Amino acid sequence: MQRKAMAKADLRSAQEPLKERFRSEPSAALITLRAEASLSDGITAAVPTHIGDVVAGLHPATGGDGLSACSGDMLLQALAACAGVTLLAVATSLNIEIRAGSVHVDGDMDFRGTLGVSRQAPVGFTDIRVAYELDTDATDEQLDTLIRLTERYCVVYQTLANSPNLSVSRRQLEGTA
């Protein structure tokens, strides 16, 4: 599918006021993004998005029926989406024409860990691979720069590569035991 490219000037005009504000007022760049999930029927959780709820459930390898989204798949999908958008923004900034393309993300998991079958098996992904297929006339040097900068500025990639501090809290709702 042929995609409509954004002009470098349009991207710059959209981003430059933000960059200037963040340079002069660094605290304005500190934004908290939020997600939530409502526990729903069976073993599922509904995650509101701007296009409607996504119902997440167990992966078939953990006893799920395959009708609900798997949060592991959603993590890989978030990486693919972020890498794709970041790559296109970087390509636009570098004047590299990308006529079409795709981002493929694969992740390896040993489901014995998440099912508690083996304490030696890790819970979560052990390996994640990102592959790009691009229809472009860019040189190898340009593509190396494009991928390097995509990795550098992709939020999801950097979050996975450099684990953030995590914290957990809980609150018991009134009227529950």
Over range 16-39, report the average pLDDT.
93
Residue 115 bridge partners (DSSP): none
Query: Given the structure tokens 């900034």, which residue do they identify?
Result: 93
* CB 75 within 8 Å of CB 54: no
pLDDT on residue 175: 77
Question: Tell me, what's the pLDDT at 146?
Answer: 98
- pTM: predicted TM-score of the whole model, two decimal places: 0.89
CA atoms within 13 A on the CB side of 45: 11
pLDDT band at 176 (very low <50, low <70, confident <90, very high): low
40-66: pLDDT as tens digits: 888 999 999 999 999 999 999 999 999
Does residue 9 carry a pLDDT above 90?
A: no
| H helix runs in the chain, sequence order | 8-24, 71-93, 111-114, 140-153, 155-161
